[in-house]
Structure 1
Amino acid sequence: MAPDPWLSIYDDTYHLAQEIAEKIHERERYLRNGQNPARITVTIRSFMKKLNERISQLRDSLLRSVSTRQITQLEGDRRQHLLDELWTKERQFQMSLSSGEAEPDLIRSSLMSGGASGTPNYNPWVMEEPEETRHLSNRELKQQQQQMISEQDAGLDALANILARQKQMGYDIGNELDEQNEIIDDLTNLVESTDSKVRHRTRQVKLVDKKTGTCGLWVLIILLLIAIVVVAVWPTK
């Protein structure tokens, strides 16, 4: 059987998400060490764009499969759960990139290394600006920050919707399991009833067979007695 294309794309997307997580950890290590994370940030954003495209592809493919009944509703719910997990990871990655929690660590690292560096005109309070924001004006930087905040809010709203949908999925799965248990109970009762009838019919057949054997024996005995009487009374010449 050929592999399911949706599951193959999901596996590739899942591995891509793992690679992004490793890159983000590497970026955080750069920040802690006072290194410029601009290059790895560009790589992460490139991976994030590819991740978003694949998630959209999976979502559209799943919608078509469910609407055309190529898969069962239960399998559709299972795949939707996997897709929700990927989407949640994507939002977490975006929040990690837009978060400025690592910047104080970068400043402290710069201060601690500044005294021993001996670099002329070195100012530990001046941080090297990332390449992606270097050519932006203050107004553009503010708009970018507001956009990040809006994306975070949208991510939280979407996460709440995902949790609500997963809760409903749990209810649906529970109801379906209850229906399956009722079907199994009905089948069990039917099997027990059939087995009881079979045992009853088997006992009846054995009884009839036993009676038939006994009657046959008596018939043979009577015929033998008649033969003996006939020979005894038959006149001899």
Structure 2
Amino acid sequence: MDQWLSSFEQCSRLGHEIQVKINERDKYPRTDTSYIKLSTQIRSSMKKFSNDIAGLKTSFIRSSTAYRITEGEVERRQIMLNELISKEKKLDHAFNNESGSGYRQNLIGHTSSSRPSSNPWLDEPEEYHGLANQDIRSQQQSVIQQQDEGLDALSKVISHQKQMAVDIGQEVEAQNEIIDDLGDHMDRTNERLIKERRHINIVDRKTGTCMYWVIIVLLFIAIIVVAVIPHSK
């Protein structure tokens, strides 16, 4: 038995437990502590029951494609799922006491004029009453087609988003390459500035040395001139 069937069995058992608790709760007055306590437990279980049914709906298509099951098995699972959905509605009505005791008798699958069903989960859903097998099959195929169309639309959206992510990634890579090139240019420019600064320092040192020699030569000439002028007189 695959995972979907296992999940279905667990969900069915949970629905039966909720049904038992509702029947037990209705034995007490509304103001009784036991009534309030059981109502809190039932409300929590109902929420989980609804979430489990939603999970079964989602995994129904996956199970139909992941496992090589026959068309008849697909239809059987669709009927099982519809029965759970119908059961959820009945439990919700019974929990809110919308139909009184007569509805609760219908909920547990029997009336005073009929014996209890051995498996209430296999009762025919109300929406299929009076329909031929071909009509039921057509309804189920219509539901499956709608689900397929929804999955196709979701797949297109995901593909579009994936393409956008790829385009953004390529743009980021291109920008990173530009930033890397700028970094290389800045490094080379910095090296050139360092070399030019060294050349300037060398020129400064050379310029200072030449100035000293010029001053020495001028002083030497001045000494000679001073020495020669008195002798000329």
Structure-2-length-normalised TM-score = 0.45
Q: Which has the larger radius of gyration?
A: 2
